[in-house]
Amino acid sequence: MGGSGKTTLVNSIYEDERIKNQFDCHIWITVSQKFHASDIMRKMVVERKHFRKVKEFQMHDIMRELAISISEKETFCMTHSKSQHGEPEYRCRRLSIHEHNEMIKSISDPSRLRSFYHFDVTCSSFPSVGTPRSARYLNVLELQDVPITVVPEELSGLFNLRYLGFRRTKIKQLPQSVDKLFNLQTLDIYLTNVDKLPTGITKLKRLRHLLAGKLSAPLYCGIVGKSRGVEAPKVVWESIELQTLKGVLANMDLVEHLGNMTQLRTLEIEDVREDHYPKLFASISKMRFLRTLNVLSAEGNQGISFEALNFPPKNLRKLKVNGRLHQSVMASPFFQTVGAKLEKLYLTGSKMNIDPLISISCLSNLKVLQIGDTYGGERIVFQSGWFPKLHTLIMCNLSHINSMIMEQQTMKNLQWLALVNFPELKEVPHGIELLLSLQNLMLVNMHDEFMERIQGEDKVRVQHISTVRFLDRSRGMEKRLFQDS
């Protein structure tokens, strides 16, 4: 009965305000003659993105209740909270604890359990999932944000674990028996109090993702954060299947053995000394799958030169460099090889005497750019035609800049701009009104005169920006200057 006007008729009813007002939510979905229920449900889920990367999903209460109901009916997954009455009986494969209470101690059949997720941040004791023998088939143990301080030795009995998550917990060390988790593929100890990896970590031959690092400086509203790497064992690593290695401190043994980890996609290494670079770059040259590289040099290092990196990884998309850079670094074979494909570039502490933007303006594929403490000059100019694909720009700690100019047709796709610690910048950037795609402007610790201008005589130049926020950490003040409703 195609073309008979059914869609028009239904749409007229759907758009009727008298009908819409009777419901808490309403969704219009077009369904073809051949459809899949999963596709329809997917359209009812709202994606939440951060820097164009999906971080979480939001679903309506009806969708959530339906998903939980089906999951429990199929014993796919069950949830537990304090609001549940009576003593629950869990025979599921996956259990999610939202609120912990005494009744959760009784898990009917731990041997069925494959995944255990704990989200109660008020629970400081290590959750019980049964004895190592009864829970020996457990594959996933996620304890993110749970304020536990000690990891029991008995954990090593869960030899089938594939994923172990301790992110943002308060643990200070991992048990030496961690080497018994020989099936472990992912270990997340990022933002914990662990400052040294046990030697047993290096014996996990199937380990693919190791995420470490302690938060050593607070975030500026989620913009700029600083973490401190953990001490790595000075032995031969047997984890040659590693794809992600983040937040480790360099030592001579490690930078040499990195050459055996040819499957690495992400490498973040800190405290790199000048004598480390030859072996480090020799190892990186063997990583043909590497897409993300973060190198943080040791304090007082003379400078980072990529000249020794004779065979740069051709698939590199994200590069973070923290440390002094030689003036000719952008003309090195490294940047000539990877520059055209780079999508994200973070330069911190390079302290160059020349404007770094001139050197990197040729990187036309950049989508995210962060520069901090990179330039000692007083004036910075974004010339016409620069960075056509850039959507996020973060500039930090440019203490001498007193003038910023944005020419027409520069950064024509910019959506997110952050200016952090510009003590000498008293005027709103000239040409900011030309950035028509700009949606968010974050200002952190700006000069008082700058703030007076942006709220007064220069307000008209930023009125096209949806959201403008200001944070003054020294005064403990955060303010949303104005925002579209």
Name the residue ranges covered by the structural domains of the chain: 343-485
- What does the pLDDT read at residue 5? 66
The total number of residues written for the chain in this structure: 485
84 vs 98: CA distance, rounded Å: 11
Instruction: Provide the percentage of residues in the chain whose pLDDT is more than 70.
Output: 76
393 contacts 418 by C-beta, under 8 angstroms: yes
pLDDT at 86 over 60: no
pLDDT band, residue 225 (cuts 50/70/90) = low
Instruction: Report the mean per-residue pLDDT for the chain.
Output: 82
10 Å CB burial of residue 5 (0-12, 13-18, 19+) is exposed
More confident residue, 34 or 274: 274
Q: What is the pLDDT of residues 385-418, one digit of tens each?
A: 999 999 999 999 888 899 999 999 999 999 999 9
Record the pTM.
0.80
Question: One-letter amino acid identity for 417?
Answer: L
152 vs 274: CA distance, rounded Å: 39
311 vs 1: CA distance, rounded Å: 63
pLDDT band, residue 461 (cuts 50/70/90) = very high
The mean-pLDDT minimum among 47-51, 141-145, 163-167 falls in: 47-51
Phi-psi region of 130 (alpha: psi -120 to 50; beta: other; left: phi over 0): left
Nearest to 116 by CA among 130, 124, 102, 250: 130
pLDDT band, residue 485 (cuts 50/70/90) = very low
19 contacts 13 by C-beta, under 8 angstroms: yes
Nearest to 149 by CA among 126, 131, 127: 126
The mean-pLDDT minimum among 28-37, 248-257, 424-433 falls in: 28-37
Alpha helices in 277-426 (DSSP H): 277-284, 333-338, 356-360
pLDDT at 51 over 50: no
The mean-pLDDT minimum among 114-128, 133-147, 149-163, 232-246 falls in: 114-128
Interacting residues of 468 by C-beta distance below 8 A, sequence separation 6+: 440, 441, 443, 454, 462, 480, 481, 482, 483
